[in-house]
Structure 1
Amino acid sequence: MRRWIILTVAALVLVGGATAGAFAAGWLPFGGGSLHGSAIDPPLPIVDAPLIGADGSEVRLADFRGKVVVLYFGYTYCPDVCPTTLANVARALKELGKRAEDVQVVMITVDPDRDTPEITQEYVSRFDPSFVGLGGDVERIREVATGMGVYFEKQERGSAGGYLVDHTATVLVLDRNGDLRLMLPYGLTGEQIANDLRWALKQ
């Protein structure tokens, strides 16, 4: 019951696309300074339904256990929020240096009608070749997203691709056990993201 209360609160805070940047920072002190995101304590288990990788194989987030996972729900037609966020995450990995080997960045598309797993993988690889892109059935994606308080909805309004997708802009961080440990609001710089990832790597 407690888990669902926390997730419901998180969902209410996160819903609304880029406005998720208003999510309050945790400001927990640690050796490297203060967190810019919000720590989840205790960490929360996630819904880990199988998704599809670029090679057509089933992939679960549990496959990345042992690493800190930086998880983002976005799409390739996103005009601003997604490319900005992924560029800042790529900068954060450079800031981490060798420690980036213990971090796996994953983007799950929220637009599977246009983003095949192959297209999603190609897109995220432009930011860093180590990034992983996942796709699959929209209901499966929604199951995973909703379990972490992530919202997305197609908006039938004019754009180059025919429509846009409103979605939570928050970056989620899973710990080495695969549990939700940290939420990073939209708009953090690469340096700020790297700061919080150093904390996550120590947990």
Structure 2
Amino acid sequence: MAENRSPRMALIGVVAAAVAILVATGIAIAPRTAPVFHGTTYTEVAPAAQFSLVDHDGRQVSLDTYRGHPVLLFFGYTNCPDVCPTTLTKLTSAMKQAGGEAEDIRVLLITVDPANDTPATLKKYTGNFGPAVVGLTGDSAALAVARQGYGAYVEKVAAAAPAPAAHAEHGAHTGHASRPAGMTVHSGVVYGIDRRGNLQVVISDSATPEEVADDLRTLAGL
């Protein structure tokens, strides 16, 4: 009887091993469930646009510098009267609300006013919002590459004129009720980039603090 059982048991073992391998392979190649964000997402997630700029400590940095951290990137300037302080306040508040899941997020403010936003000026300004916020600047060519990479809307106003309610890019509000002469008008959207450097979500300036906090948790968990 023992001799008859041995081949049968061996066959059962082989079949079980084969099933286990198939199951494991299926899990490995099964597509991940797409993350759920309140903000605008992309049909195909792709690497976020690279840049080569200078941080507020005078160090040369790129997007790769922040690899391993979730990144919230937006364009603005230190003399911005409304959009930038409102955005930074909302983001830092949402990070606190999100808790430990979002504690290693980096917020990158890329200036659209390099003539005035020196590294020292940016450092003083971002310091009002906490150590997670980093100001970035560079020469006009490098900043233009960064703006083009994200399709950022920026306009220097030469004369007073009414501001549009929204811009076509991502349906983003400019956030400025009017356009005083000499003012720089820009969109208030925030680009959410995961730890691997992929652009995952665009957060509108109309998002509520609760929605932003939810999106930060999702982004941090990727």
What's the TM-score, normalizing by structure 1? 0.77
Query: Pick from 197, 205, 212: which aligns with 1:186?
Result: 205
Match of 1:66 in 2: 68
Displacement after TM superposition at 1:101 (Å): 2.3
Instruction: State the distance in 2 between where 1:88 and 1:176 align.
Output: 21
Runs of 4+ more than 6 Å apart? none
**Structure 1 unmatched ranges of 5 or more:** 1-27
After superposition, the CA RMSD in angstroms is 2.2
Match of 1:196 in 2: 215
Match of 1:36 in 2: 38
CA change 1:29–1:52 in 2 (3 A) is: closer
Instruction: State the distance in 1 between where 2:208 and 2:145 align.
Output: 29
Q: What secondary structure is seen at the aligned counterpart in 1 of 2:48? A: coil
The answer on 1:173 being equivalent to 2:192 is: yes
Aligned residues: 172
**Which letter maps to 1:106?**
L
Q: Mean Cα displacement is larger for which, 40-49 or 147-156?
A: 40-49
Conserved? CA contact 1:117–1:136, under 8 Å? no
**Which letter maps to 2:122?**
T
**Which letter maps to 1:190?**
P
Match of 2:147 in 1: 145
Q: Give 1:14-163 correspondences, 5 Å limit.
A: 35-157=37-159, 163=182
CA change 1:189–1:197 in 2 (3 A) is: same
Displacement after TM superposition at 1:162 (Å): 6.7
Displacement after TM superposition at 1:29 (Å): 8.9
Conserved? CA contact 2:102–2:220, under 8 Å? no
Match of 1:13 in 2: none
**Structure 2 unmatched ranges of 5 or more:** 1-32, 161-177
Q: Mean Cα displacement is larger for which, 150-159 or 46-55?
A: 150-159
Displacement after TM superposition at 1:76 (Å): 0.9
Q: 1:3-56 CA deviation, whole Å, 9 max, x = no partner?
A: xxxxxxxxxxxxxxxxxxxxxxxxx996xxx63201224222233231011222
Q: 1:45-91 CA deviation, whole Å, 9 max, x = no partner?
A: 23323101122220111111111101111111111111111100010
What's the TM-score, normalizing by structure 2? 0.71
**Which letter maps to 1:182?**
V
Q: What secondary structure is seen at the aligned counterpart in 1 of 2:144? A: helix
Match of 2:7 in 1: none
